[in-house]
Structure 1
Amino acid sequence: MSQKHTVKGKRKTETEKQKMNVKLLPLALGILLMAAGAIGIMHGSDDSDRWSVSDNGILSYPEIKEVDYSSQDVSEANDSDIVREVSFESRGSEIAGLVRIPESSTKVPGVVILPGAGVSKEQQTAVPQLLSSMGYATIIIDQRNLGGINPQSDLELYMNGEEPVEYMMVHDALAAANVLADQSEVNEDNVAMLGLSNGGRFAIIATAIEPEIKGVIGISTSGYDTNSIEVDETVDMNAYQFYRSIDPDNYLGMVSPRRFVMLHSINDSTVPYELALRTFDKANEPKALYPINGSTHGYSQLMAEDIGKELETIFQ
């Protein structure tokens, strides 16, 4: 698959991170935008691997022609699936992943799975196993910082012309799609993204900027609503551009005409359902939103049937 576009401190729990990221970020953005100094930013260069951000805050990477990775089968004797440990290079780091491939006489579609903050690939087994039972191959990765983010630190990097970690996390997702598509059992033309919680944000952005991705499913996630920030003479436009670039809401128009799907527990106290609905309303068709009874943050068995139905639609 080719790409045409391409904290320190005390460890927080998943719930604490998400509440900070979703509930406090819009307010923090406004404060930081006014506080940021007027610094000239150089977003691109002649380097072949240089990231860039458009004036509208859209991230892009150069085409990924191939990804260097290692692979080792680790399937257990009582497991009919092929399970592989993989490790691949992305933006100067080694990213670890697990590939799971169901038994099939033909090549199968593949799904990149991005876990929520604080969740390792070994802790998120339910979704890969579910998708395998439906006939889909998956790759799930350990995200940088296990999916945790620090927008203020990334803003400082950006203002210095350095690559923010959140950008690298998008690139990691794109590289993972390349690795999954390279498996001999996988249909390289049928790869989609699925992200949980914070991972859903990176899944949306990665899908938006890579037109070969077939569609995206976001579970218990939302954008940051940077469109609601009032832009006036007190706002530093470089900082505003950065926050636009990490907001999945800003990329929703680029997902269409591919399918955009959200599943969200209506009593989720980590990422409130209302925030998911706000993001969903901004997306173009084709799209679908599934409110799930309960308070689970992340995957719930109540989502299984709808996920299966939507993947069939995405890959048809």
Structure 2
Amino acid sequence: MRVPFIAAGLACLVVLAAFAGCTSSTATPSYSVDNNGVLSVTCAPVTTNETVLFSNQTYTESKIILHTQTGDVVTYLSTPAHPKAVMLYLPGAGEKISGHAERMVTYAEAGYAFMFLDYRGRGGETTGYPLNPQTDYTLFENKEWPEYYLTICDISSAQAMLTARFGVPIYAVGGSNGGRYAAVAAGVDKNFAGYVGISTSDWGIRDSVAEQGGTGDILRFATSLEPSTYLPTISPRPVWMFHNATDPIIPFAQGKSLFATANEPKTFTEFNGDHGINPDVDARLIALWAQIYGTQT
């Protein structure tokens, strides 16, 4: 799937922006994009509010709201008492938390926590606008925060919260569009233990800009959005990607192209299904992690 992007004008070579009304912290919230299109962020502090929704001997499910300085971000966490690792999951378009009820139990029984992060603009409980490179580029030109970059901060903030809470490896995982955000987050935030991409690929924004003759800052900005900009930097942390050969939404070849940009260690697996995370992916991932953490249902 390609995202068309037509824009004109240039921004500064290095962009720094801060949230208005920022509370005291050790560093001013800011972002920068280098000449290779690689994003770096210093995120604003967040607070959280947690409501327990369900608990039994297997797992506890709770709703956790990340209160950021630019709006609330909704997450759902399912965890056994002592998880071996955490899957921080970025869903694809249209995915609802209700569709992951069985998955939450499956991972908890295997010894892993699962967080569903409803990122900005997805059309769920978290507000925001759907991915709009033109709108975000205008913000970039004006040295304001593009929503895309705010989303990367949200993912990084969730990682920091989970790390502080559990002290175990946190993996950036995503399906379809969510896999794109997860790849960028894993590259930007070196505290992620690794990356899992399911039925995902580049956006195609950079190629679209280049085909239209875009150069300079517009191309640099477009490059900053692409998962392939960050996949090589995840190494030596692992990259695991899953794709179905007959995927009806994101072609198999596009998934393979993204995977090719990653450095070792990496694994590409063809799974049974059509598009997005499913029980076959769950079983394969749990079996893979069992080799690392010694847990298996």
TM-score normalised to the size of structure 2? Answer: 0.84
Deviation at 1:45, TM superposition (A): 5.2
> Which residue of structure 1 aligns with residue 95 of structure 2?
119
Residue type at the aligned position of 2:42: P
> Which residue of structure 2 aligns with residue 96 of structure 1?
74
Classify 1:233/1:192 alpha carbon distance in 2 versus 1 (closer, same or farther; 3 Å): closer
> Which residue of structure 2 aligns with residue 19 of structure 1?
none
5 Å-filtered alignment, 1:74-89, equals: 74-76=53-55, 80-89=58-67
Please say if residues 30 and 43 of structure 2, whose CA atoms lie closer than 8 Å, have aligned partners that are also in contact. Answer: no
Aligned-pair identity in percent equals 25
Please say if residues 92 and 174 of structure 2, whose CA atoms lie closer than 8 Å, have aligned partners that are also in contact. Answer: yes
Deviation at 1:59, TM superposition (A): 1.1
For residues 94-135 of structure 1, what are the alpha-carbon distances to aligned partners after superposition, in whole Å with 9 as ceiling and x for unaligned?
11111111144xx53222111112323344334433322211
5 Å-filtered alignment, 1:127-142, equals: 127-142=103-118
> Which residue of structure 2 aligns with residue 54 of structure 1?
34
Query: 2:42 aligns to what SS in structure 1?
Result: coil
> Which residue of structure 2 aligns with residue 287 of structure 1?
266
RMSD: 2.6
Classify 1:122/1:165 alpha carbon distance in 2 versus 1 (closer, same or farther; 3 Å): farther
> Which residue of structure 1 aligns with residue 21 of structure 2?
none
Please say if residues 242 and 271 of structure 2, whose CA atoms lie closer than 8 Å, have aligned partners that are also in contact. Answer: yes
Residue type at the aligned position of 1:125: A
Residue type at the aligned position of 2:117: I
> Which residue of structure 2 aligns with residue 13 of structure 1?
none
> Which residue of structure 1 aligns with residue 22 of structure 2?
none
Deviation at 1:251, TM superposition (A): 0.6
For residues 236-282 of structure 1, what are the alpha-carbon distances to aligned partners after superposition, in whole Å with 9 as ceiling and x for unaligned?
31110111001010111110000001111111111111100001111
Please say if residues 111 and 192 of structure 1, whose CA atoms lie closer than 8 Å, have aligned partners that are also in contact. Answer: yes
Distance of 1:117 and 1:136 partners within structure 2: 24
Distance of 1:122 and 1:96 partners within structure 2: 14
> Which residue of structure 1 aligns with residue 50 of structure 2?
71
Please say if residues 225 and 279 of structure 1, whose CA atoms lie closer than 8 Å, have aligned partners that are also in contact. Answer: no
5 Å-filtered alignment, 1:262-281, equals: 262-281=241-260
Deviation at 1:144, TM superposition (A): 0.9
For residues 8-45 of structure 1, what are the alpha-carbon distances to aligned partners after superposition, in whole Å with 9 as ceiling and x for unaligned?
xxxxxxxxxxxxxx2x32xx34xx2xx51235466115
Query: 1:201 aligns to what SS in structure 2?
Result: helix
Classify 1:280/1:140 alpha carbon distance in 2 versus 1 (closer, same or farther; 3 Å): same
**What residue ranges of structure 2 are gaps of 5+ in the alignment?**
19-26, 124-129
